[in-house]
Amino acid sequence: MTDSELLKKPLKVVLLQIKAGFDKTKNLQNAASFLEKAMNQYPDADLAVLPECFNSPYSVSEFANYAENIPNGESTQFLSSLAKKHEVMLVGGTIPELGDDSKIYNTSVTFNREGEIIGKFRKIHLFDIDIPGGITFKESITLTGGDELITLNLPGFGSMGEGICYDARFPELAAISARKGCFGMVYPGAFNTVTGPLHWHLLAKARAVDNQMFVIFCSPSRDTDFSYHAYGHSLVVDPNGKILAEAQEGDEIVYAELDPEVLVRTRASIPVTTQRRFDVYTDVAK
């Protein structure tokens, strides 16, 4: 696969940085309202992205109360109808999923323009941290980590890899996706006001520059009425590590265009993708 085939034409992306409360119905309607607004503002958008836990509070004690089946649950069916209505590809942020094994996962579902599921990804690395004087959070109290990488094949454009929030700290996911020919990575994520200022921009740029690919981070907006304060700052980064577009902390729609020529020029000028020494170190994609 040549660089020009990685992204076949410019991809127009909208990120919906919104908040979620305790009322699932209101959360879904809020997502619908913002997508409607985004598509009215950017009618030629190809891909829309929602944030992590857009239909529920980001809370260990609440995940089980909002968990639902995929593909038959309310949120999945609702997202499918939105993608079909607006004829847009949609990365449905994440929702708490009740698996057939009765375990709960933090799961992202992606849809094509017809509302059909083209990808389902379960967060692999669970957010279990303890920063003295900062934040303590342990997703594993409620959630189970996924065990499968996926590639999102976007009809007419090419392929993207996906991770969720804490997955961005583990470079292997992006590296594997890049080796498989993906032009970018998308991460619905909810960094907080402790970890966000430290590493949000740094990680987005690192994943982009390491693999010479586009990177999308989509966060919830900040709501100080809840105990978990999302950082916000949803953004799109190009293969050179340049931020193409970025939100602040409130409700916001972010628009960016991913230009395939930028990817081609970046890889031609600094050809790390062809200079890797797999005779010296292991190719994580194999």
286, part of any domain: no
1, part of any domain: no
CATH no. for residue 36? 3.60.110.10
178, part of any domain: yes
Short-list 19, 16, 17, 15, CA closest to 223: 19
CB-CB contact of 206 with 217 (8 Å): no
pLDDT, averaged across the chain:
96
pLDDT tens-digit readout, 34-92: 999 999 999 999 999 999 999 999 999 999 999 999 999 999 999 999 999 999 999 99
CA atoms within 13 A of residue 142's CA, in its CB half-sphere:
20
Catalytic: 52? yes
250, part of any domain: yes
Please name the residue that has the structure tokens 């709960």: 104
Catalytic: 123? yes
The count of domains in the chain is: 1
Integer CA distances (angstroms), 130 to 103, 139, 140, 195, in order: 24, 12, 13, 11
5, part of any domain: no
Tokens representing 171 are 């470079």
pLDDT at residue 109 greater than cutoff 80: yes
147, part of any domain: yes
Residues forming beta bridges with residue 45, ordered by sequence position: none
279, part of any domain: no
Catalytic residue, candidates 53, 165, 182, 218: 165
Catalytic residue, candidates 19, 24, 120, 123: 123
pLDDT at residue 5 greater than cutoff 90: no
4, part of any domain: no
Short-list 51, 49, 52, 57, CA closest to 20: 57
* Residue-number span of the structural domain to which 148 is assigned: 11-274
Length of the chain measured in residues: 286
